[in-house]
Amino acid sequence: MSQFDEVFASSEWAFAFAESLDRQLGDDRILTVGSARDGAAEPLAGPTRVLALEFTAAGGETGVVTLLAGQALGQALEQAASDEILLTACASALDAAVRTIGERAGVDIDPDAAAEIDTEPQFDDAVDRRVIYPLLDGGDLLGCVMLQVRPAASVPDAPSPAAAGDANGSRNPALTARESAGGSDNPLGASYVLADVEMGVTAELGRCRMTVRELLSITPGAVIDLDRAAGAPVDVLVNGTLIARGEVVVIDEEFGIRISELIPQPAAAR
C-alpha cells in the first residue's frame, strides 16, 4: 500500500493546479479539468512545452508533476508572466499541486526546482504509477497535467495470496468482501465500507468570468452568459470531481438530473 493511494483516488491536486493557472492567466478563458486517465496523454495540436517539478516524499517515494502545454496555452502563460517566461507563469501552479499532494497524502514532501525539459516524460510500466488530467477551455484541449510516482527502493514486494489470508493460506473473508465490492460493475468503484458516507453532489450548468465592476452591476432581471450552449449536458460533481453528465428534468415541481453519461474514474480510485 502506498502513502499516495489517497492522492491517486482524488483529482484535488489537479484542480488546485488548474485554479492557480487560471488565476495566473487572468483572461476570459476558464480552465477546467477533464476525466482522469492512466495511459498516454492526449495528443496536442502543434508544438508542446513541457515543465516538470520533481519531489521526494518522506517515505522515500519519488514523483514528478508535469505540465504539457499546447502552443496556445504556452503563449498565453508567457504573456501573463512578469518576465514573459513560461516557467515563471507556472511556478505557483506547480507549487500548489505539490502542496495539495503532500496534504492529501499526509506526508512531508521535499520539492526540487521546477524546470522546462525538451522531451515528453517517459514511463516505465513496471514501476511507475501515474494519472493524467486534460486541461480544457470549454471543449478545447489546451494541455495536460500529470502525476507520476515511483516507489522507494526499499518498498517490499506485495504479499502473496497466502499472506493476505490466514496461516493456512485461506483467503481472509473480509478481504474477499472488499475485493468483491471493488470489482463490482459500479463505475464509481465505491467500497462497501464507505457506502453510508454522505457526500456533497453539485450540478454545474456552466461558468463565466466577470470583473468586479460587472458583478456589482448585477440587478434583478439581469442575464449572465455561461460557457455552455443551450441543450448541452450538465456536469455532476462530487467534492469537485466530475462523475457524470446529464440533462435537467422537473420531478414533482423540483429540478433533477437525468444521468446520460458516467465518467470513468481512475483505476486507483476503485
Domain 192-269 CATH assignment equals 3.90.1200.10: no
- Half-sphere exposure of 84 toward its Cβ, with a 13 Å CA cutoff? 2
pLDDT in tens, 66-94: 999 999 999 999 998 888 899 999 999 99
Cα distance from N-terminal residue to C-terminal residue, the chain: 14
What separation in angstroms does the CA of 70 have from each of 26, 95, 210, 242?
A: 18, 20, 25, 23
What separation in angstroms does the CA of 46 have from each of 71, 116, 119?
A: 6, 17, 14
In tens digits, the chain (270 residues) has pLDDT values of 578 888 999 999 999 999 999 999 887 778 899 999 877 777 887 788 999 999 999 888 999 999 999 999 999 999 988 888 999 999 999 999 999 999 999 999 999 999 998 877 777 776 788 999 999 988 889 999 999 999 886 444 444 444 444 444 444 443 343 344 444 444 444 444 556 677 788 888 888 888 888 888 889 988 888 888 888 888 888 877 888 888 888 887 788 888 888 888 765 444
Helix (H) / strand (E) containing 99: helix 86-105
Give 131-161 as a DSSP string: EEEEEEETTEEEEEEEEEEE--TTPPPPPPT
How do the domains of the chain map onto residue ranges? 5-150, 192-269
**Whole-angstrom distance, CA of residue 164 vs CA of residue 144:** 37
Q: Phi-psi region for residue 26, left (φ > 0), alpha (ψ -120 to 50) or beta?
A: left
In this prediction the pTM is 0.56
| pLDDT value for 51 | 93
CATH topology of domain 5-150: Chemotaxis protein chec (3.40.1550)
> Which of 58, 143, 35, 38 minimizes the C-alpha distance to 94?
143
DSSP H helix total and E strand total for the chain: 6, 11
**Whole-angstrom distance, CA of residue 11 vs CA of residue 13:** 6
pLDDT in tens, 196-222: 677 788 888 888 888 888 888 889 988
Alpha-carbon torsion angle 155, 161, 164, 166, nearest 10: -140
